[in-house]
Amino acid sequence: MRSIDHFIGGRPVAGTSGQFGDVFDPNTGAVQARVQMATTAELDSAIANAVEAQKGWAATNPQRRARVMFEFKRLLEVHMDELAHMLSAEHGKVIADSRGDIMRGLEVIEFACGIPHLLKGEYTQGAGPGIDVWSARQPLGVVAGITPFNFPAMIPMWMFGPAIACGNAFILKPSERDPSVPVRLAELMLEAGAPAGVLNVVQGGKEIVEAILRHPSIKAVSFVGSSDIAQSVYALGALHGKRVQAMGGAKNHGIVLPDADMDQTVADLMGAAYGSAGERCMALPVVVPVGQGTAERLREALLPAIESLRVGVSTDADAHYGPVISAAHKAKIEGYIQMGVDEGAELVVDGRGFSLQGHEDGFFLAPTLFDRVTPEMRTYQEEIFGPVLQIVRAATFEEALSLPSKHQYGNGVSIFTRDGDAARTFADQVEVGMVGINVPIPVPVAYHSFGGWKRSGFGDLNQYGLDGVRFYTRTKTVTQRWPRRDGSGVSDQSFVIPTMR
């Protein structure tokens, strides 16, 4: 059986722990590979390689580092089909969705190509008598990323793209459920011209995560996963003096006002709620129609749209989405569906019991729709992370605005309306980090930054964009004074700050 190794110091490295994780084919339910689980000794080896590589990489001028990023971008485009098929084979998302995963990561790499401009500091001439002040952004050193299964290409590139462009070396600990694409990305980064050791991939579980958070040579950690783990990662990393950004879960809402374009809204909801089998932190699993008339029209329009969705294997070009990641996750989603029934929500469409001919053991779920969900229900309060859409009816605009604002998660929210004043008021007042106006999945473009509020994000700086550059660098400010060549201008001994004189 195929073994997936670590990638340390520019080469594949077999593990020595004797422990492995199963990598399934979600389309069939069969184990297709085994991933090596690292020991702390292998993590130490990766960090030692990164420390040595980072010294020369940081000394490389920004435009030369940018050329490596340009070449990496070109290689991503050349290998797009290979990467998409590799990703779909382990994750289960359809090929078109896998290409989108890679493209959103590639866009951050494009942003990182502008690193010479982004690293420019500030300069003030004559801040005091003969005194000039200037600042520069310098890399932190060795940094790390811990990434989830749902975006095995995009999220690693969101992290290591800006980090490496800024002059750091990077340790990537990807999900053990779909680990092949991260290794391939590291190979392409090496091929693009990054020195061996600048990007290392260490496979592993909780033990390696905690070792990363404790290791004194790692200066910053970026994490994406569930909120409980994100909070513990943030606390443990901060305790050990690290800069940490930890992105957690979500329960994104879509507010539908009576004047919304209902056909367009329903089309948007199909992709936002059910795309990638709902395994997205920016999925839209809650829709809030305002007014009973709006709710009835929305429900009536959703039913035929859901009926038309095609669930298929990841290589089916006509499928709208494929299987979920594992049998355990499928069972968890099914448990939430039963919980919703037990809580008293109306199960309008039941996605359980779906079987795909020839792939009966695959991890498939058909779309599920609940109506008359209330804020007190656990199924509303918690993240389901599957192809389940819940209708929560609101009587007024103010009630609809309060739902996402009061929720424990504050990742993303959308409003569907033709009323500019309502949209502006909503965007201004809602307590959520990323807002879409007639945009169902409001993931910011690469030159802005990604991050939620409340239990969706821990830390002061968001991912990618200028926040990403700030996260992976530190500012050094220099105040300088030079004696005049003729010897004049020498002052007496002074005990005050020079710029104050």
Q: Choose, from 211, 281, 377, 401, the residue flagged as catalytic.
A: 281
- Widest CA span of the chain, in angstroms? 91
- Kind of pairing between the strands at 286-289 and 346-349: unpaired
Question: CB 328: neighbour CB atoms within 10 A?
Answer: 9
The DSSP 8-state label assigned to residue 21 in this structure reads E
Neighbours of 479 (CB within 10 A): 15
Three-class SS state of 431:
coil
Looking at this protein, which amino acid is placed at residue 172?
L
Helical H runs in 409-464?
A: 420-429
Ordered DSSP codes for 289-346: EBSHHHHHHHHHHHHHHHHT--B--TT-TT-SB---S-HHHHHHHHHHHHHHHHHT-E
d(CA 334, CA 336) in angstroms, rounded, equals 5
The answer to whether 92 and 149 have CB atoms below 8 angstroms apart is no
CA distance 434 to 411: 6
Q: How many Cα atoms sit within 13 Å of 15 on the Cβ side?
A: 22
| Packing angle of the helix pair 62-78, 80-91 (nearest 10 deg) | 70
SS3 label, residue 491: coil
Q: What are phi and psi of 434, to 5 degrees?
A: -130, 125
Strand ranges, E, within 213-276? 218-224, 243-247, 253-256
Q: Is residue 247 a contact partner of residue 232, using CB atoms and an 8 Å limit?
A: no
Rounded CA-CA distance 407/405 in Å is 6
For residues 480 and 436, the answer to whether their CB atoms sit within 8 Å is no
166 is catalytic: no
At residue 377, φ and ψ (nearest 5 deg) are: -75, 140
User: What are the C-alpha distances in Å from 225 to residues 170, 247, 457?
Assistant: 19, 6, 10
Catalytic residues: 281
